[in-house]
Amino acid sequence: MSLPHDPFDPALDAALDVALTQALKAPPVSPTLQASVWQRIAMEQAQELATRKAAAEAEWQMASQQLDQQKVQMTRDTLAMVLGLAFTAGTVVATLGPAVMANADWIDPGAQGVVLPGLAVLVGMTAGALVWIERLGWPRWLRLG
């Protein structure tokens, strides 16, 4: 027996398909079996979806906790930096202020006891606020819009 010249003959393919269909008949499938298979597929998909959803929620919860922890740590570090900077700036003003104010003719000598601590607090608070704004942004009550 010899092979045809073209191994991919469409007529031969069609004839083989018809012969195979007649020789290999699929057994009849009961409607209850089909329904139970489709029901099982739907149940598996629902379980897989529930598993994926639970995993995604757990991952989100973990990421949210990490972000909260980082925010608390950054706020604590910023507060420590603000306090340190404010005290340092206040100390510098309190230390250098008397020498500067001794030569200032525009400040009444009796008012220097009030002006100097007030200036130290003002410089310290301004320096601290600038650090806070740089690291954490403006407070909510000061944001416009």
**In whole angstroms, how far apart are CA 62 and each of 6, 96, 115?**
63, 51, 51
Q: What is the mean pLDDT of the chain?
A: 82
Q: Mean of the pLDDT values across residues 8-24? A: 87
Instruction: Please name the residue that has the structure tokens 């027996």.
Output: 1
pTM, two decimal places: 0.46
Residue with the larger pLDDT of the pair 18 and 124:
18
- What residue ranges do the domains of the chain occupy? 76-138
Structure tokens at 45: 């998909």
Q: Could you count the other beta carbons within 10 Å of the beta carbon of residue 121?
A: 15
Distances (CA, A) of 122 to 16, 35, 128: 96, 79, 10
- Residue 100 banded pLDDT, cuts 50, 70, 90: confident
Pairs from 119-122 (Cβ < 8 Å, separation ≥ 24): 119/93, 120/89, 120/90, 120/91, 120/93, 120/94, 121/90
The pLDDT tens digits of the residues spanning 64-95 come to: 999 999 888 888 888 888 788 878 877 887 78
- Give the pLDDT score at 3: 58
pLDDT at 112: 67
